[in-house]
Structure 1
Amino acid sequence: MNIVLRELRSYRKALIIWSVCIIIFTAMAFAKYAGFAAMGSEANELLESLPDFMKNAFGLSSLNLTEIKGYYSVLFMYYALITGIHAVMLGATIISKEARDKTADFLMVKPITRSSMITSKIIVGFIDVLIINIVTGLTTIVFVNINNNGESIIGGLINGMVVLLIIQCIFLSLGLAISSFTGKAKKATTISTGIILIMYFLDVFRNISDKLDFVKYITPFSYFDTIKVLNGNGFEALYIVLSIIIIVVSIVLTYTNYQRKDIL
Structure 2
Amino acid sequence: MINNKVVLMELKRNFKSLIVWTVAVGLSMFVILISYPLVDDVFDQMPQEFIEIVDIFGGIPRNLIEYFAMEGGMIFQLTCALYATLLGFGTITKEEREKSTDLIYTLPVARKTFFLSKMTAGFIQITAFMLGNLIFIVLGIVIINDYASFAKLLLFALLSWVLLMIFVCFGTLLGTLSKKNIKQLNAMAIPLPLYIVSLIASLTDNKWLDALKYLTPYTFSDPLVVLKNGYTFEVVNFLTFTVLAIISFFIAYRTFVKKEFAN
TM range (shorter): 0.7 to 0.9
1:33 shift after superposition: 2.1
Does the 8 Å contact 2:170/2:248 carry over to 1? yes
Deviations 1:209-263 (A, max 9, x none): 3231221121111223435534595433212211321210110110111122112
- Once residues 43 and 127 of structure 1 are traced to their aligned partners in structure 2, the CA distance between those partners, rounded to angstroms, is 44
Unaligned runs of 5+ in 1: none
Residue correspondence of structure 1 range 27-38 to structure 2 within 5 A: 27-38=30-41
Of 86, 93, 102, the residue aligned with 2:99 is: 102
Is the Cα contact below 8 Å between 2:170 and 2:245 reproduced in 1?
yes
Instruction: Answer whether contact 1:44 1:66 (CA < 8 A) is retained.
Output: no
Pair 1:179–1:213, CA change in 2 (3 A):
same
Task: Look up the equivalent residue of 2:27 and give its one-letter code.
Answer: I
Aligned to 2:67: 71
Q: Tell me, yes or no, if structure 1 residue 223 matches structure 2 residue 220.
A: yes
Report what 1:152 is aligned to.
148
Match of 1:249 among 236, 247, 250: 247
- Residue equivalent to 1:14: 17
Aligned residue for 2:256?
258
Residues of 2 paired with 1:12 and 1:42: CA distance? 45
Task: Pick from 235, 240, 247 the counterpart of residue 237 of structure 1.
Answer: 235
- Is 1:170 aligned to residue 166 of structure 2? yes
Any unmatched runs of 5+ in structure 2?
Answer: none
Q: Which residue of 2 aligns with 1:126?
A: 123
Point out the more displaced range, 228-237 or 127-136.
228-237
> Which deviates more, 139-148 or 75-84?
139-148
Structure 1: how far apart are the matches of 2:200 and 2:135?
31
- Name the CA shift for 1:67/1:182 in 2 (closer, same or farther; >3 Å): same
CA contact (8 A) 1:91 1:173 kept: yes
Give the structure-1-normalised TM-score: 0.88
Q: Cα 1:260–1:101, aligned 2, differ >3 Å: closer, same or farther?
A: same
Task: Give CA deviations for 1:170-225 in whole Å, capped at 9, x if unaligned.
Answer: 111100000111043743x3332022111111111112332312211211112234
By how many angstroms is 1:102 displaced?
A: 2.3
Code of the aligned partner of 1:115: K
Identity across the alignment (%) = 22
2:185 corresponding residue in structure 1 = 190
Residues 51-80 of structure 1: CA distance to partner in whole angstroms, max 9, x if unpaired? x7xx54xxx33x432511211222211111
Structure 1 residues 23 and 244 mapped into 2: Cα distance closer, same or farther (>3 Å)? closer
Alpha carbon RMSD of aligned pairs, Å? 2.2
**What letter is aligned with 2:104?**
L
